Amino acid sequence: MRDIFSSDRLMDQLFRILEESDPRVRVYAYRMIGGRPIKPAVYKGEPFPDLLLGILQQEQGGGEFHLLIRRGETMLLSGVVLIFPPVPRKSSGKHP
């Protein structure tokens, strides 16, 4: 599978799709384990800018994901993205 973030063309295509707000487009995000996508999808729904990657980071803890993006029967984009895990918050050093 193609690494979306290693190709400027694919990365541009991904962000263009996420920003278009076409209600006919659906994104399916599958966690990858051992180089294989694991069903069911961890996200299935409309594309939206930045929030999709944030969901994969914050709610799924980051990792490797296979993204399938379709408009009806037409495949718009398919590839793998690596999302860094969320950065732990620093404590203030004060205890309650």
Mind listing the pLDDT tens digit for each residue in 38-78? 999 999 998 877 677 888 887 888 889 999 999 999 999 99
- As a whole number of angstroms, the distance between CA 46 and CA 69 comes to 9
Residue 94 pLDDT > 80: no
What's the chain's average pLDDT? Answer: 87
pLDDT of residue 92: 57
Q: Where does residue 57 rank: exposed (0-12), middle (13-18), buried (19+ CB within 10 A)? A: middle
pLDDT of residue 57: 83
Residue 1 pLDDT > 60: yes
pLDDT of residue 80: 95
- As a whole number of angstroms, the distance between CA 17 and CA 28 comes to 13
